[in-house]
């Protein structure tokens, strides 16, 4: 059932179909999921499964990316994304260096493009970038020859988070097609929700969005909008009813202008996912959150750490998904 993709000593086993499709991989960058087909997302999820197998070994390391140089360039704070990319690169035997804007020459005024050219001059094969400005990774991709991975840009996109979310859903539910996924919270500022909506609708899930009107993106479901159609349901009870997956978003207070919410108390009353509301979803519904959480605000502590929560699993799966992406971008074509 499986085939050995590499002949260089690394034993990453792929199902035959995945190995064949991987050789036709066409992406040089991962900027968002809006230009990914269902087959391409399937391929990433397949290879993620193979990477989970590598990570389950006593020695969690294969030489697939030996000699490749990966660099992270983070203009915003991160725990999960940065660490999981680092672990992913190390498990594939790549060299990885991390640059944080606050401790670099960016503080002295060096521009994004000059910083990228510096990383290129130092030999970066892949640059993983997080930036507060939407579109920064797309700009980066126009200026360097190596691959760019978007690790979250402004309100725009967080494709690797959406892929790990989809992998986690599929691991539990078997399929993504026809899953009822309800996304609750601050969709206006959420790059996670945008990438999830692209990915989930491409895979055939039925997505419902539940947000206060002031935290719903302008143009959602408008004629001519460059965005997939979703169901918008402001009533949290109707939105959750019958859901297979309830994904809660962080209230992004740092990106919010004042006046978008009357009060935190009202937000909790109307939009917090708590034990009582979770009962309206299917009994086996998954609870997800990309993290970091404002526990007690958008999600109650009991739900966040309850039996239906897969939030810690999402974090774990982030390493394997990012291994799959690094492999496809920097090593896949060697097969
Ligand atoms: N979900 C997510 O992107 O988390 P970090 O900000 O910790 O990377």
Q: What is the pLDDT of residues 140-181, one digit of tens each?
A: 999 999 999 999 999 999 999 999 999 999 999 999 999 999
pLDDT band at 205 (very low <50, low <70, confident <90, very high): very high
Residue 257 pLDDT class (50, 70, 90 cuts): low
* Every domain of the chain and the residues it spans: 2-154+316-331, 159-304
Ligand 1 atom closest to Cα of residue 84:
8
Any ligand 1 atom below 6 A from CB of 72: no
Mean pLDDT of the chain: 93
Ligand 1, residues 290, 294, 318: which to mutate, most atoms within 8 A of Cβ? Answer: 290
pLDDT at 4: 47
- Testing ligand 1's pocket by substitution, the residue of 76, 80, 311, 312 carrying the most ligand atoms inside 8 A of its CB is 80
Please tell me the distance between residue 332's alpha carbon and the centre of ligand 1 in angstroms.
26
Of 114-128, 250-264, 277-291, 308-322, minimum mean pLDDT range: 250-264
pLDDT score, position 10: 55
Ligand 1 pocket: which of 73, 75, 76, 79 to mutate (most atoms <8 Å of CB)? 79
State whether the beta carbon of 78 lies less than 6 angstroms from ligand 1: yes
CB contact burial 152-168 (16+ within 10 A = b; e otherwise): bbbbbbbbbbbbbbbbb
Instruction: Give pLDDT, residue 333.
Output: 52
Which helix (H) or strand (E) covers residue 138, if one does?
helix 136-141
Task: Indicate which residue's Cα is closest to atom 6 of ligand 1.
Answer: 78
Residue 35: strand, helix, or coil:
coil
3-state class (DSSP) for residue 2 = coil
Nearest CA to ligand 1 atom 4: 80
Please report the pLDDT score of residue 9 as a whole number.
52
2 band by pLDDT with thresholds 50, 70 and 90? very low
Report CA-CA distances (Å) from 156 to 32, 176, 256.
9, 23, 15
CB contact at 8 A, 126 and 29: no
Going by alpha carbons, the residue nearest to atom 5 of ligand 1 is 78
Q: Scanning the structure block, which residue is given the tokens 């959406």?
A: 162
Res. 223 pLDDT band, cuts 50 70 90: confident
**pLDDT of the residue at 335:** 37
Work out the angle at residue 328's Cα, subtended by the Cα atoms of residues 26 and 137, and round it to the nearest 5 degrees. 75
189 and 255 Cβ atoms separated by less than 8 Å: yes
Ligand 1: does its nearest atom lie under 6 Å from the Cβ of 81?
yes
Q: Which of 164, 93, 81 is nearest to 128 (CA)?
A: 81
Query: Which tens digits make up the pLDDT trace of 3-57?
Result: 445 545 556 777 777 776 777 799 999 999 999 999 999 999 999 999 999 999 9
Least confident segment among 78-82, 183-187, 331-335: 331-335
- Calculate mean pLDDT across residues 99-121: 96
Q: What is the CA radius of gyration of the chain?
A: 20
Judged on CB neighbours under 10 Å (0-12, 13-18, 19+), 274 is middle
Contact, 214 vs 189, CB < 8 A?
no
Q: Which CATH architecture has domain 159-304?
A: 3-Layer(aba) Sandwich (3.40)
Whether 79 has a pLDDT exceeding 90, the answer reads: yes
Domain 2-154+316-331 has CATH 3.30.830.10: no
Kindly list the distances between the CA atom of residue 199 and the CA atoms of 37, 54, 99, 180, in Å, as whole numbers in the listed order. 9, 25, 29, 14
Q: For residue 89, give the nearest of 289, 331, 334, 262 by alpha carbon.
A: 331
DSSP letter at 263 equals -
**Angle, in degrees to the nearest 10, between helices 311-330 and 38-55:** 110
Residue 78, token pair as written in the block = 């991160």
- Supply the DSSP string of 52-63, one letter for each residue: HHHHTSSS----
First CA to last CA across the chain, in angstroms? 18
Do 2-154+316-331 and 159-304 have matching folds?
A: yes
């Amino acid at each position: 059932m499986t085939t050995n993709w590499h002949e260089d000593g690394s034993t990453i086993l792929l199902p035959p179909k995945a190995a064949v499709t991987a050789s036709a991989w066409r992406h040089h960058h991962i900027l968002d999921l809006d230009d990914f087909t269902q087959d391409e997302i399937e391929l990433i999820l397949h290879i993620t499964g193979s990477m989970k197998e590598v990570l389950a070994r006593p020695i969690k390391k294969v030489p697939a990316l030996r000699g490749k140089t990966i660099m992270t360039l983070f203009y915003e704070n991160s725990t999960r994304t940065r660490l999981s990319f680092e672990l992913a690169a190390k498990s594939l035997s790549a060299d990885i260096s991390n640059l944080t804007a606050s401790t670099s020459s960016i503080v002295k005024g060096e521009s994004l493009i000059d910083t990228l050219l510096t990383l290129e001059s130092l030999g970066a094969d892949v640059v993983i970038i997080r930036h507060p400005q939407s579109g920064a990774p797309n700009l980066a991709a126009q200026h360097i020859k190596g691959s760019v991975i978007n690790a979250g840009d402004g309100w725009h996109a967080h494709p690797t988070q959406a892929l790990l979310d989809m992998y986690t859903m599929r691991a539990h539910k078997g399929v993504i097609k026809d899953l009822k996924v309800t996304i609750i919270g601050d969709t206006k500022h959420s790059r996670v929700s945008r990438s999830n909506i692209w990915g989930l609708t491409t895979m055939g899930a039925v997505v419902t969005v539940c947000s206060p009107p002031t935290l719903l993106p302008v143009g959602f479901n408008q004629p001519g909008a460059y965005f997939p159609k979703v169901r918008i349901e402001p009533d949290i009870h109707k939105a959750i009813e019958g859901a297979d997956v309830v994904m809660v978003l962080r209230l992004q207070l740092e990106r919010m202008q004042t006046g978008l919410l009357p009060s935190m108390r009202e937000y909790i009353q109307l939009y917090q996912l708590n034990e009582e509301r979770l009962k309206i979803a299917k009994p086996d519904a998954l609870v997800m959150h990309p993290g970091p959480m404002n526990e007690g605000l958008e999600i109650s502590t009991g739900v966040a750490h309850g039996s239906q929560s897969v939030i810690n699993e999402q974090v774990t799966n982030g390493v394997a998904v990012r291994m799959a992406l690094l492999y496809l971008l920097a090593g896949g074509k060697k097969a």
